[in-house]
Structure 1
Amino acid sequence: MGTTLQLDDVVTDLEEVWERLLEIGQEIPESKWTHPTACPSWSIADNFAHIVGTEAMLAGEPRPNIAGVDMSIVKNPIAEMNQHWVESMRSSSKTEILDRLSKLKETRSKRLRSMTPEEWETLGPSPVGQAPYARFMQIRVFDCYMHEQDIRQAADLGFHPYGGAAERSLAEITPAMGFVVGKKANAPKGSIVRFVISGGQNSTFDVKVGDRASVSYDLDSSPTTVLEIGFLAFTRLIGGRSDDGADYLTRVTVSGDNALGERVLTNLNYLI
């Protein structure tokens, strides 16, 4: 039904995904370090650099100012900031990037675990606008988890749909389905779109469209459309990943109002 935003729970999930990133980083041979990933325009190295850059920024390091940053892939100020960090590490070696991530893991973990309840709940800027710091850190778990899967796919290491970070990522994604169904897919009032998620993470919920669309776990009405989708496909589609032809995408099924279901699938990508 969801995951709590208690400090210890969130930080444990962050530490889990950071540790796994360090482990797979060591596994990836130098020959694959610059392989492209499904995250548009970024290599394996770039995905690691993005994670390092964001945590460095949160640790208080100033954003680098790179002349001639590639603006063709930048859609908003957050993406521009990310690109400056990524391009600042293009000349860094695999060892340098992983060493930096390892040090940031320790620094950030220590700082997060020392926060007071008031600091943890303080409102501030985040990728979704003003939000409690706790919510921002849940988004960090989700972001790190998504990029971990980008890296795994490109390095042929297999996806990882289990554990606290995966569960928290699903908890972060699910509320946004009201926006996807009601706003992006323009589902008519009275519609009920049921999502049946399986494969590592399992969840069934409805998006009910009234004056606004909202998520409900009370499966007390017959749905207009049912989307049965694997957790992996769900996360890849909401992230707009370029996995065309991937086997897991063939295991998405739509029943009921097919036109509405296909419209929802087409509009699942809501990330910035």
Structure 2
Amino acid sequence: MSLHPTLQPYADAWTHSIEAISELVQPLVEAEWNRRTPCPGWSVRDIVSHVIGLDSEMLGDPRPIHTLPRDLFHVTNDHQRYTEMQVDVRRHHTAPEMTSELEYSIIRRNRQLRNESRDPGAKVRGPLGAELTLEESMRTHAFNVWVHEQDLRAALGHPGGLDSPGAHVARDVLLGELPRVVAEDADAPRSSAVVLDVHGPLEFLRTIRVDIQGRGTLETAPALGPAATLALDWETYVRLACGRVTPKAVADRVKTEGDPALTAAILRHFAVTR
């Protein structure tokens, strides 16, 4: 048996991103592990700890028994507390300890993928005891690891990977959230359309149509006379959608047309990751 074809793109995306992360952090001296990243509250060490933790979850390892400090300002809900456990438990690990554990987790995860024969619809454990399909789990995992690769690249001054396999997974994951953002969060008018025009390493044009019931759908066909149009580069799109920057901070990189109240509302709700 081998990995199901539906799952292969997510395995490829994870492999590309995790190898990039390994190459980025391998030569770092101790002080560089403490550099701030665009991910709120997290250093380079914290990002790598989180990535190791994500892979340990995929491997089915038991979660660490650890008590979080009370003064972590960026931890405000149960999901963040769940995530922070894998990070905080490694906050005092040295650079060699971090790179060794990362490499060991990559070896184990590669072995798991080589032996993975389950159907994409098989149910697996998710965060906080949630149940999801193997396909959903692997897609989310590939997305998360790629986003954190970008966090590390920004922190360390090594741009790249914006058109990698993980970038394509991220595009589809983020676009999947847009109908809700436009139709529900931004409350776009019924029977209207919003156009998103993205350029750069990944280029795409998408239309979000809102029907008479207020439901949003994502389409590839362009809209005539949309209520609003947003044009921006792919890197800015990712940074906005993942909550790494505010709309105000990148206002010069986002061009809008149409209803200004609607475009402002869309940008206000653009961040879709927790």
Q: Normalization by structure 2: what TM-score?
A: 0.89
Quick one: which of 250, 256, 263 aligns to 2:265? 263
Match of 2:7 in 1: 7
- Per the alignment, in what secondary structure is the counterpart of residue 193 of structure 1? strand
Deviation at 1:249, TM superposition (A): 5.2
Cα distance between partner residues in 1 of 2:246 and 2:260: 23
Cα distance between partner residues in 1 of 2:268 and 2:127: 23
- Per the alignment, in what secondary structure is the counterpart of residue 173 of structure 1? helix
Cα distance between partner residues in 2 of 1:56 and 1:165: 19
When structure 1 is superposed on structure 2, of 219-228 and 120-129 the one drifting more is 120-129
Cα distance between partner residues in 2 of 1:77 and 1:5: 35
Cα distance between partner residues in 1 of 2:246 and 2:145: 18
Quick one: which of 241, 246, 250 aligns to 1:238? 241
Contact 1:7 1:113 in 2 (8 A): no
Q: Normalization by structure 1: what TM-score?
A: 0.90
- Per the alignment, in what secondary structure is the counterpart of residue 189 of structure 2? coil
Deviation at 1:243, TM superposition (A): 6.6
- Paired residue type of 2:59: A
User: Kindly, what percent of the aligned residue pairs are identical?
Assistant: 23
Structure 1 residue runs without a partner (length 5+):
none
1:98-177 to structure 2, matched below 5 A, reads 98-118=99-119, 120-126=120-126, 130-177=131-178
RMSD, matched Cα: 2.2
When structure 1 is superposed on structure 2, of 200-209 and 97-106 the one drifting more is 97-106
- Paired residue type of 2:34: T
Match of 2:218 in 1: 215
How has the CA–CA distance of structure 1 residues 5 and 69 changed in structure 2, closer, same or farther, with 3 Å as cutoff? Answer: farther
- Per the alignment, in what secondary structure is the counterpart of residue 232 of structure 2? strand
Match of 1:91 in 2: 92
Deviation at 1:16, TM superposition (A): 0.5
Q: How many residues align?
A: 267
Contact 2:241 2:271 in 1 (8 A): yes
1:57 has 2:57 as partner:
yes
Contact 2:193 2:223 in 1 (8 A): no
1:66 has 2:66 as partner:
yes
Cα distance between partner residues in 1 of 2:127 and 2:224: 34
Deviation at 1:221, TM superposition (A): 3.5
1:182-193 to structure 2, matched below 5 A, reads 182-193=183-194
